[in-house]
Structure 1
Amino acid sequence: MAEFIALIPAAGSGSRMGEDIPKQYRPLASKPMIYHALRTLCSTERIGMVCVVLAPGDTEWARHDWSEFAGKIRVFGCGGATRAESVTNGLKALRAENHVQDQDWILVHDAARPGLSRALVERLLDQLAQDEIGGLLAVPLADTLKRADDTGRVMCTEPRERLWQAQTPQMFRTKLLLEALEKAPAGITDDASAVEALGFSPKLVTGDAYNFKVTYPQDLKLAELILQERTATQN
Structure 2
Amino acid sequence: MKKYLVLGILFVLPILAYMFFASGVNNFGKLPILNDDVTAPSVEGLSLQGRITILGFPGDQLDQKKTNALNLNQKIYKRFNGFDDLQFVMLLPEGNDDKIAELKSELGQLADISNWNFIQAGPNQVSEVFNSLGTPLTLDEYYGCNEVFIIDKEGRLRGREKDDNEKPLYGYDATSVAVINNIMVDDVKIILAEYRLAKKENNNGSEGGRNSILKKNVQ
What range describes the TM-score normalised by the shorter chain of this pair?
Answer: 0.3 to 0.5
TM-score (norm 1): 0.34
Structure with the higher fraction of residues in helix conformation: 2
* Structure 2 length-normalised TM: 0.36
Larger relative contact order (CA 8 Å, sep ≥ 6): 2
More strand by share: 1
